[in-house]
């Protein structure tokens, strides 16, 4: 990528897209193409084609997606499968049609089988049943990965896919119904502390294990891959994570310490646990010269400060 290459960040207002934008800007890229949802509806094929025809992006970061936590995924499966499939199909096909040089598609670690051996290697994809709470989203993301693979195979495109673990950081969604566990717990602990509540409620048993990657590390990895590698180097896709996980209970205790909450933690076992463990094998990524730098404690502290400062999404 040259510093003045035309780079399209699909989803630049989301948590991941905004972090990629910050990273590209700090690396000196000057020609970033960004469109708000009102300016360009990525589920509208005609609009996407017109955008690609007029702007001819050379590099595409496909970070736009309908995302959410365990409750949103299981409550609105039709929206998750429809919107994600439409966005992926439209953007990937337009990138091919209008000759993008390279595209980076973001998958998700939840697309591996529910009971995949841990840590999960790239080759475990499609070797078993999916987790029911996010099956719709997972099917859509698998479709995106296979779109890239088959366009490369048939048309000789250079479309890479990456498989991030659970992400967190600034511009995350802190809505308690639709968010992931990290922002939900930061908010719950903060409000409980401010309001002097004697206990806070965590969903599920607290026993599931999750791996958390700060979104600035994620953006750094995406830009590193885009700058230095082609699809033939990464294989079908590459995991992006830290290679370490913790239980939801340990996460809650860590957030409680950072926030300074001294009340009790109780577990609402009527809420789903989801996949028992999600831990990525990151050896392929390490072999491509990248590893995560931001510790969980530092990342949560920074995210909590951002949350408290009342920042609006970029
Ligand atoms: O982050 P999360 O919503 O999604 O939940 P997944 C992770 C774990 O935290 C589950 C528990 O075991 C939840 O039951 N948990 C505890 C909570 N308290 C809370 C809370 O207040 N809010 C939330 N949200 N969870 C998602 C997928 O799975 O991961 C998506 O549904 C996506 O498709 C995303 O892949 C990365 O890690 O279970």
Determine whether 137 is an active site residue.
yes
In a domain, 204, yes or no: no
Q: What are the φ/ψ torsions at residue 278 (nearest 5 degrees)? A: -135, 100
What are residue 166's DSSP bridge partners?
212
Q: Say if CB 223 and CB 99 are below 8 A apart.
A: no
Q: What is the pLDDT along the chain (314 residues), one digit of tens a residue?
A: 999 999 999 999 999 999 999 999 999 999 999 988 778 999 999 999 999 999 999 999 999 999 999 999 999 999 999 999 999 999 999 999 999 999 999 999 999 999 999 999 999 999 999 999 999 999 999 999 999 999 999 999 999 999 999 999 999 999 999 999 999 999 999 999 999 999 999 999 999 999 999 999 999 999 999 999 999 999 889 999 999 999 999 999 999 999 999 999 999 999 999 999 999 999 999 999 999 999 999 999 999 999 999 865 55
Domain with residue 67: its CATH number is: 3.40.50.720
Sign of the four-CA dihedral 191, 193, 196, 201:
positive
In a domain, 69, yes or no: yes
Given 137, 151, 229, 304, the catalytic residue: 137
Ligand 1 residue neighbourhood (C-beta within 6 Å): 69-70, 73, 108, 110, 133-134, 137, 166, 179-181, 184, 202-204, 208, 210, 248, 271-275
In a domain, 251, yes or no: no
Write out the two tokens for 151.
């366009």
In a domain, 106, yes or no: yes
In a domain, 261, yes or no: no
Q: What is the pTM for the complete model shown?
A: 0.95
In a domain, 74, yes or no: yes
Range of the domain at 142: 7-170+212-243+279-294
Alpha helices in 98-228 (DSSP H): 135-155, 181-195, 215-228
Q: Which atom of ligand 1 is nearest the CA belonging to 74?
A: 31
ipTM score here?
A: 0.96
Q: Say if CB 296 and CB 254 are below 8 A apart.
A: yes
Secondary structure class of 8 (helix, strand, coil): strand
Q: Which atom of ligand 1 is nearest the CA belonging to 164?
A: 36
Residue appearing with tokens 């948590």: 15
What are residue 203's DSSP bridge partners?
268
In a domain, 18, yes or no: yes
How many distinct structural domains can be found in the chain? 1
In a domain, 80, yes or no: yes
- Distance, in Å, from the CA atom of 111 to the CA atom of 137, rounded to the nearest integer, reads 8
Residue to substitute in 15, 66, 70, 271 for testing ligand 1 pocket (most ligand atoms within 8 angstroms of CB): 70
């Amino acid at each position: 990528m040259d510093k003045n290459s035309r780079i399209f960040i699909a989803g630049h207002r989301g948590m991941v897209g905004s972090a990629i934008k910050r990273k590209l800007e700090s690396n000196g890229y000057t020609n970033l193409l960004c469109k708000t949802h009102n300016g360009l509806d990525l589920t509208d094929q005609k609009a996407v084609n017109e955008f690609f025809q007029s702007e001819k992006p050379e590099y595409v970061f496909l970070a736009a997606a309908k995302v959410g936590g365990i409750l949103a995924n299981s409550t609105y499966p039709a929206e998750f499968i429809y919107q994600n499939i439409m966005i992926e199909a439209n953007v990937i096909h337009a990138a091919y049609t209008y000759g993008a040089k390279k595209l980076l598609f973001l998958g998700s670690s939840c697309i591996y089988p529910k009971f995949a051996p841990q840590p999960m290697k790239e080759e475990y994809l499609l070797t078993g049943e999916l987790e029911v709470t996010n099956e719709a989203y997972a099917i859509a993301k698998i479709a995106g990965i296979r779109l890239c693979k088959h366009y490369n195979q048939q048309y000789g495109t250079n479309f890479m896919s990456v498989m991030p673990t659970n992400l967190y950081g600034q511009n995350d969604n802190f809505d308690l119904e639709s968010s992931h566990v990290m922002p939900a717990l930061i908010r719950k602990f903060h409000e409980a502390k401010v309001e002097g509540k004697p206990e806070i409620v965590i969903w599920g048993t607290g026993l599931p294990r999750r791996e958390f990657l700060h979104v600035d590390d994620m953006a750094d990895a995406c830009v590193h891959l885009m700058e230095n590698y082609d699809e033939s180097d990464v294989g079908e896709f590459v995991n992006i994570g830290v290679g370490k996980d913790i239980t939801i209970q340990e996460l809650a205790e860590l957030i409680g310490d950072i926030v300074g909450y001294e009340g009790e933690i109780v577990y609402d076992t009527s809420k789903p646990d989801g996949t028992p463990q999600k831990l990525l094998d990151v050896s392929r990524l390490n072999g491509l010269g990248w590893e995560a730098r931001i510790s969980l404690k530092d990342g949560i502290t920074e995210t909590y400060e951002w949350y408290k400062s009342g920042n609006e999404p970029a």
